[in-house]
Amino acid sequence: MPRLCKPSVRVPEYVITMEETLEFAQRVHGGKPQLPLALRLIRNTGVRKRHIVQPIEKTLGHPGFEERNRVYEAESRKRCPEVIEEALANADVAARDIDAIVYVSCTGFLMPSLTAWLINTMGFRSDTRQLPIAQLGCAAGGAAINRAHDFCLAHPGGNVLIVSCELCSLCYQPGDDDIGSLLSDGLFGDAVAAAVVRGDGGTGVDLERNGSYLIPHTEDWISYAVRDTGFHFQLDRRVPGTMEPLAPVLRDFATDHDWDIGKLDFYIIHAGGPRILDDLARFLDVDRGMFRHSWATLTERGNIASAVVLDALRRLIEEETPQADATGVIAGFGPGITAEMALGRWSRDTPDDAD
């Protein structure tokens, strides 16, 4: 059965605290009528600090879309290899053992995808399949796990590398001062994450079932406006309420697998914001503390887009390795409004398996 092994996650060296975020928001957007509400919303996110790839003063400037994309390419090449090497080691596989790479990112654009550069420079085979995913936003972490699961089912014994490179700070637009943009300025952080889904063996989450769901007629609730200055994030005020219609979907998804969504052993949930986590816990009748790994990611790193689910899973494994056969759900949410869901059970190789 395909097994999701322990992720590796890295964040950049530059840190911006909540206090600094509020200060620069007042300095850059002072006098705007939306600012008082935006500051209150930012304070309520619970994000204590975030990591960014450039010093804050450089981040606040806008050198143009071409230069920002150049920085994205340089930083992704600089930061991904170390994370990938650790993810391969966590799964006890080598680069040549990988049959497909799923690369997810919504914060920069490269063609060919970074997968081509990785194959050429890190020892992956030339026949490694490439699957770049760019337009699923925060849901792409869950989608990457699900597409890796699908690949391993179609190619028994195959191994898939997942790479998430989200440099959200490169999308900051100093001229955007609507509530959604100002809130995102205080919520999103940068991170690189990677994990391997093994077709056989290893230690991690056996992926038993995956699914997707799109809430009808919500495709404009989370979106990018692509302009001369790059990607402009657009967030509808209705987005925080989306857990009410998605909770029954998750419940039915688990029920179809003969599991009770409210009685699982672990929950790896996309930390889009505090209301997302609070509402989902309430609608699923799950104790808020069961989402503690997602809360920790949100508090210490902000919303790191598609990397959230990998970071939350890493925290689960490092802080309290699950018991054998512990059951859990992984769920990412993003533009569409799209939910990517997976059910799995904790497992590891035994000496008999190795024989």
Report the relative pairing of strands 100-104 and 190-198 from DSSP bridges. unpaired
Residue among 2, 86, 94 nearest 344 (CA)? 2
Question: Distance between CA atoms of 9 and 181, rounded to whole angstroms?
Answer: 26
138 is catalytic: yes
Cα–Cα distances (Å) from 335 to 105, 211, 219, 271, in that order, read 13, 16, 7, 14
63 CB-near residues (< 8 Å, 6+ apart)? none
Q: Rounded distance, CA 176 to CA 62, Å?
A: 12
Place of tokens 């209705």: 238
Among candidate residues 5, 80, 106, 138, the one labeled active-site is 138
The number of beta carbons lying within 10 Å of the beta carbon of residue 351 is 6
Peptide bond into 112 cis (omega under 30): yes
Which helix (H) or strand (E) is 164 found in, with range? strand 159-167
- Tokens at 14, concatenated: 């530059």
Distance from C-alpha of 36 to C-alpha of 150, rounded to nearest angstrom: 46
List residues with catalytic annotation: 138
